[in-house]
Amino acid sequence: MKKNNLPEPLRTRLTQVMRDHSLAKFGDSLTNFVYSLAKTRRYKQSFGERVLDKSLAEAIRNANLRSVMPSSVSSGDLGDGAEALIGHAYLKKIMTIDEMVEIIISVMQAKTLEEISYRSNERLLMAEAFEKVLLEIVARIS
């Protein structure tokens, strides 16, 4: 989905959602919970993780949603945009927690716990997993 491929009504809706700071705060907690739950289910031990803003920013770029955000924003702001979209998807019943968890687990299937024990590997895993979540949310909103 390149910049020019987003229909204007969808771009407008995504812009409103992804720039909503209060929605981003809720989405931050939800994003961390969903990732922690997926990791806990996949590796069968308890985790309480924080999803990295850099990973969410990369997911935004890889999902071709970067153009929805202002051009001069930081990785943290891009991460907030992803979190706002995830929070919106849950609150509007576009996607359930279990559906998000299943998408993330599908990405984790190819990785051992030892492989993602290196933070750089887990950062890439987070980016890939949330790219898939974001793409599914956008497809459902469309």
State the DSSP string of 4-49. Answer: GGS-HHHHHHHHHHHT-HHHHHHHHHHHHHHHHHHHHHHHTS----
Q: Count up the domains in the chain and report the number.
A: 1
Tell me the pLDDT tens digit for each residue of 101-112: 999 999 999 999
Per-residue confidence (pLDDT) for residue 2, from 0 to 100? 41
Q: What's CA 42's distance to the chain center, in Å?
A: 18
Q: Tens digit of pLDDT for each residue in 77-132? A: 999 999 999 999 999 999 999 999 999 999 999 999 999 999 899 999 999 999 99
80, two tokens:
């907030």
Domain carrying residue 124:
3-141
Phi and psi angles of residue 75, each rounded to the nearest 5 degrees, phi first? -60, -35
**Can you give the CATH number for the domain in which 59 is found?**
1.10.1520.20
- Give residue 13's identity as a one-letter amino acid code: R
Contact 123, 54 (CB under 8 A): yes
The two tokens of residue 118 are 């290196």
Number of neighbours of residue 83 by Cβ within 10 angstroms:
26
**DSSP class of residue 64?**
T
pTM over 0.75: yes
Tokens encoding 105: 């687990």
Tell me the percentage of the chain whose pLDDT exceeds 90. 86
